[in-house]
Amino acid sequence: MTDKLTALHTVIENVERVVVGKREEIELSLTALLANGHVLIEDVPGVGKTMMVRALARSIGADFRRIQFTPDLLPSDVTGISMYNQKTQSFEFRPGPVMGNVVLADEINRTSPKTQSALLEALEEGSVTVDGKTRSLEKLFFVMATQNPIEYGGTYPLPEAQLDRFLLKLKMGYPTEEEELEVLNRVEQHHPIDTLEAVLSRDEVLKMQELAASVFVEESVKRYIINLVKGTREHPDVQLGVSPRGSIALMKGAQAYAFLQGRDYVVPDDVKYLAPRVLAHRIISRPNLEMTDRDGEYVVEDVLSRAHVSLSKRRAVQ
């Protein structure tokens, strides 16, 4: 356990060589990877979203693919296409960029909903279907999607069904003055991404995903998760609350986060810490509240302030 924990923190430090002052966001991205989930990063252009994805892919020796979403992008540009080969007189499948280990779906909300939906099967099932034939993706499959704030021109809001497929939603934020100075110093002569090397292999990451999934979750913690989710469904400001998929995502995320902290069991604070990032983007507020600050994050924080959990004496002693 100690060796694996050391390796994971080495990955974080490796990414920090490229992305300055964003340790929490890096840890959360790694948490999603360990939980076999996916991440949506929303922020203004130029704050390091793309660079963090590239650095993480390099750090785990993964096959990195990038999809630049544009208004004219077609679903086949994402999943791949069957083309006729005149020499063999048969159709051959040419895989799309989604068939990699770490996939950057860049500016995902700049394309049409039809093309956005091409990712749904890949995100949930780990496969793509082209011309009626389903093809499995790699065992290590991790999507980090970036989107610009929806108030920016030329954006299409992601459908609720697609938002629900992302384990976490993060924001990067602007760096501090000292952090930005450090960025300038690091890229003055060459970019640190060019010298970044892998510190973990893909097989090691898959093994850690299995170990994270085996982290113990006490029944009282599971009930705490259920109470949080139930609270979003019953909240007066909510039109559509969190689905059972959100409950699963919160538990899986808590397992991975506990593993990253060096524990083989989940504590309520793991759930409480992750809840706003896992649940908020799955909530649809009532139409009359869309222009207020009573959004998904507000609802989750309000529910958290009311929910309580009591662990059994057996787990509390441990």
Summarised one tens digit per residue, pLDDT across range 146-181 is 887 765 666 777 878 888 999 999 998 888 999 999
- Please list the residue range(s) of the chain that carry CATH number 3.40.50.300: 2-74+100-208
Q: What is the arithmetic mean of pLDDT over 25-45? A: 93
Which CATH superfamily, name and number, covers 215-317? Magnesium chelatase subunit I, C-Terminal domain (1.10.8.80)
Instruction: Give the SS3 label for residue 26.
Output: helix
Residue 187 sits at φ, ψ, to 5 deg, of: -100, 10
| pLDDT band (50, 70, 90) for residue 314 | very low
Q: What's the longest Cα–Cα distance across the chain?
A: 71
Whole-Å CA distances, 58 to 156, 171, 207, 306: 30, 22, 18, 42
Whole-Å CA distances, 26 to 90, 153, 248, 315: 45, 28, 22, 30
CATH class for the region spanning 2-74+100-208: alpha beta
- Helices 268-279 and 296-306: crossing angle in degrees, nearest 10, is 160
Please report the pLDDT score of residue 313 as a whole number: 44
Using one digit for the tens of pLDDT, what is the confidence trace for 99-138? Answer: 989 999 998 888 888 888 888 888 888 888 888 888 888 8
| Inter-residue contact 92 to 110 (CB < 8 Å) | no
Instruction: Give the SS3 label for residue 97.
Output: coil
Strands 102-106 and 142-147: parallel
Please report the pLDDT score of residue 116 as a whole number: 82
- Residue 9 confidence (pLDDT) above 80: yes
- Please list the residue range(s) of the chain that carry CATH number 1.10.8.80: 215-317
